Amino acid sequence: MSFPRGWIPGLTVAGMLAVPGLAHAQRTVFLNLEAQAVNTNSGNDPSLNSYASTSFVPGTLDGYPALDDEQRAELMYWFKHGTTPFDIHFTYERPAVGNYDMLVFGSEADNTELFPDLGCSASIGLADCADADAENISFMFWGCMPAMQQMDLRRVAFFGLTALGFGWGLEGVDVSGQVMGSYTLSGIEFGNSCVSIAGASQCTHLGCVSGQQNSTADLTPAVGTRIDDGPPTLTIDSPANLAVVGSDVTVTATVDDAFGDVTVSLEIVEAGQSLDDDLPPHSWGLTNIPDGMWTLRVTATDVDANVTMQEVVVCVGVDECGGAVDTGGSSSSSGGADGTSTTAAADSTDGGGGETSSSSGGDPTTGGGAVSGIGSSTVTAGASGGFGGAPDTGCSCRAGSRPGGVGVLLVGLVGLFGLRRRRR
């Protein structure tokens, strides 16, 4: 039988050591945001909603119903960001086949009902030394966080990863700035050096003396290392290619990649200016656009240096976007250094599809639209000095806004062109 262990800085509840088992490379994690009943009928089996440990009482969790689609996208971003070095795939859909871990979410009342002996803790998971029990269920109780933090999705992901970490063989550590330790704004990642365990250690950890843990060393055999999955996917959702727009317009794009830390930027090609917006949903507000035809290019670059870009042309100050050929927008992808190259032509429709190419090596390029009356541009930063703003600063274990944008003016010969990131 496994014993529940809850952890918060300075507190460890003793449990029983498990016998090391065969590690599994590549992990799938089902982030279950819906209400979920958890039973004890079948040991530790997420596919059967079964969790077995001492101090656990079967019951139903509320889920995380307050999140809208944009917040779900941001929460997914932080889970991927915190596990970029590893081969972990997160999904909001329960896998139909295969093994997977499940993270469930609940309120303070859920915590009290399911773990009455552990106290209210944001992170609870099976203390599974060397990942002996393989896939299981972990618990993230947002209701055990202060009310003002319950929609801080970076923090929620941090404690969710801590709960999952217990199930992957990790213990709480007595440091700040890394998952399994104390939360800091810059510390949503697993540590990569031997640090002291918080409290009495139950497990033996790879490459460290007794009482210490290197989280990355332990996770690598359990979950595998990241593989190059090719370029990110990218779609400019609005505006449509060759759209006639006013002097103010919002550019939105959808970007996806199996792993975290994709850099996303918008470039106004003729002005030679760009602004990053790495945190989804990706959106940029353009204001005071001078009359003319403008090429808007969005580029996504993943951690393996794979690049995907797409661009559209918009027209300002005209009744229709004439003088250019509607290619339906264009996009290109540049892969890694494996020497492969592919090109495919897709059907073109107004504002979608278009010619798509994928190549290896070199800088990907795409055609741009004609420009009318555009001069050279310089940048005048907003009051904060630059683009964007700094972010605000065997047993169960437990542990413990988006930055607003600032305006940026692009000063050209024909007028003012404001570029800003939408405030979250």
Contacts of residue 410, defined as CB under 8 A and 6 or more positions apart, other chains included, come to 268, 271, 273, 377, 378, 379, 416, 417, 418, 419
pLDDT, tens digit (0-9, with 9 covering 90-100), for 148-177: 999 999 999 999 999 999 999 999 999 999
pLDDT mean over 12-39:
66
Respond yes or no on whether the N-terminal peptide bond of residue 58 is cis (omega within 30° of 0): no
- Find the radius of gyration of the CA atoms of the chain: 24
Tokens matching residue 181: 């330790």
Region of 131 please: left (phi>0), alpha (psi -120 to 50) or beta.
Answer: left
pLDDT at position 185 is 85
**Could you tell me if 413 and 378 are in contact, meaning their C-beta atoms sit under 8 angstroms apart?**
no
The mean pLDDT value for 375-400 works out to 34
The per-residue pLDDT for 187 is 85
Whether residue 334 has pLDDT greater than 90: no
Count of beta carbons in the 10 Å neighbourhood of residue 390:
10
Q: What is the pLDDT of residue 336?
A: 61
Nearest Cα neighbor of 370 from 307, 324, 321 is 324
Which domains occur in the chain, in start order? 4-223 (3.40.390), 233-374 (2.60.40.10)
| 344: its two tokens | 């495919």
Q: Is the pLDDT of residue 10 over 70?
A: no
- 261 versus 8: the higher-pLDDT residue is 261
Pairing mode of beta strands 88-91, 27-32: parallel
Whole-number Å distance between alpha carbons of 59 and 336: 48
* Listed range (155-159, 166-170, 291-295, 323-327) with the worst mean pLDDT: 323-327
Higher pLDDT, 395 or 361: 395
What is the tens place of the pLDDT at every residue in 68-113? 999 999 999 999 999 999 999 999 999 999 999 999 999 999 999 9
Residue-level pLDDT at 399: 54
Q: Is the pLDDT of residue 138 over 80?
A: yes
- Angle between the N-to-C axes of helices 69-82 and 153-167, in degrees from 0 to 180, rounded to the nearest 10: 50
Report the relative pairing of strands 233-238 and 342-349 from DSSP bridges.
unpaired
Phi, psi of 379 (to 5 degrees): -110, 130
Calculate the average pLDDT of the chain. Answer: 78
Cα angle 189, 309, 271; round to 5: 105
| DSSP secondary structure code for residue 240 in this structure | P
pLDDT recorded at residue 363: 40
- pTM to 2 decimal places: 0.77
Q: What DSSP string runs through 154-190?
A: HHHHHHHHHHHHHHTT---BS-BSSBTSB--TT--SB
If pLDDT is split at 50, 70 and 90, which confidence band does 401 have?
very low
pLDDT at residue 51 is higher than 70: yes
Q: Is the pLDDT of residue 352 over 60?
A: no
- Tokens coding 379: 């940048």
* pLDDT score for 411: 31
Given this model, what pLDDT does residue 373 score? 32
Per-residue model confidence (pLDDT) at position 242: 95
What's residue 323's pLDDT?
60
Task: Supply the pLDDT for residue 54.
Answer: 87
Instruction: Give residues with Cβ within 8 angstroms of 112, minimum separation 6.
Output: 120
Say what percent of the chain tops pLDDT 70: 71
Q: For residue 263, give every residue at least 6 positions away whose Cβ sits within 8 Å of its Cβ, in sequence order, or none.
A: 276, 278, 300, 301, 302
Residue 17 DSSP one-character state: P
Asked whether the predicted pLDDT for residue 12 surpasses 50, the reply is: no
Residue 419: in which H helix or E strand, if any?
strand 416-421
- Residue 421 above 60 pLDDT? no
CA separation for the pair 203, 66 (Å, rounded): 37
The residue among 352, 238, 375, 249 whose CA lies nearest residue 298 is: 238
Q: CA dist 355 to 264, 311, 352, Å?
A: 21, 11, 10
Q: Which of 104-113, 235-244, 350-359 has the lowest mean pLDDT?
A: 350-359
Query: Quick one: average pLDDT of 382-408?
Result: 35
In percent, how much of the chain has pLDDT > 90?
65
